[in-house]
Amino acid sequence: MRHRVAGNRMNMPEPRRRSARRNLMAGLIRYDRIQTTEARARAIRAEVEKLIDKAVKARAAARKHLASVVSDEEKANQILEFARRGRFSLHKTVGTNEERLNQQKAPLTDKGRKFLEDKLKARREELLRIISNEDEAEEALQAAYQAMVIELHARRQILSALPDELVVKKMFEELAPRYVGRPGGYTRIIKIGRRKGDAAEIAQISLV
């Protein structure tokens, strides 16, 4: 019986096979193409496409959520870049030293308080330059934070399968925008010939 042995086992022990698959997938995403045996190329193809598809769908869902609040694409991109620089709210103020003490934070000197107040003022002005209405700006900013949460959830799922932060970053920043609207089929396998020595079929697997 073949219970729980679905998929290509790559003819090696499980820990080594898992490491080999991750290295092959990371190499493919990092360099857009790699050469390996045809069997290994076919073994990683489905999983690579599944991970890319997850990134594409997460990015699309995040953008759709933000677009439901900010219809202007340019403003939506500006709000998202603003949100990525840290949490902020137009209602945020610098608390008194008594309030900070209750929050278990260190008290502020006059110079430190002025620095924080100037920083909040600068961010407030920057946000209102993008969207002048305060209520609309606050709503748009919260939508941008929620869009980031949607992407972050997908990033964590992909990282659990492929623990390489630079590779996952490329998937969201380069591959997801490239494949928006494409219903799968992100890779291509081309046979190259046979390897000298053991005559194994060699193929190139690449991102289309």
Please report the pLDDT score of residue 115 as a whole number.
Answer: 93
Q: What is the pLDDT of residue 100?
A: 86
Beta sheet of 201-207, edge-to-edge order:
33-37, 201-207, 187-194
Instruction: Answer for the pair 62, 145: CB distance below 8 angstroms, yes or no.
Output: no
Which DSSP string do the residues of 39-87 spell out, in sequence order? HHHHHHHHHHHHHHHHHHHHHHHHHHHHHTT---HHHHHHHHHHHTT--
- Report residue 139's pLDDT band, with 50, 70 and 90 as the boundaries: very high
Do the Cβ atoms of 67 and 76 come closer than 8 Å? yes
SS (H, E, C) 133-151: CHHHHHHHHHHHHHHHHHH
d(CA 143, CA 77): 12
Q: What percent of the chain has pLDDT above 90?
A: 67
**62-111 pLDDT tens trace:** 999 999 999 999 999 999 999 999 999 999 888 888 888 888 888 889 89
Query: How much is the average pLDDT of 190-197?
Result: 88
The domain made up of 14-207 is a member of CATH 3.40.190.10: no
Residue 162 is predicted with a pLDDT of 92
Lowest mean pLDDT among 3-7, 47-51, 167-171: 3-7
Identify which of 87, 82, 85 has the alpha carbon closest to the alpha carbon of residue 125: 82
d(CA 152, CA 134): 27
CB 45 within 8 A of CB 187: yes
| Cα distance between residue 202 and residue 35, in whole Å | 7
Domain ranges in the chain are 14-207
pTM of the entire structure? 0.82
CA distances 59 to 12, 54, 163, 171, Å, are 36, 9, 19, 10
Say whether pLDDT at 6 is over 80.
Answer: no
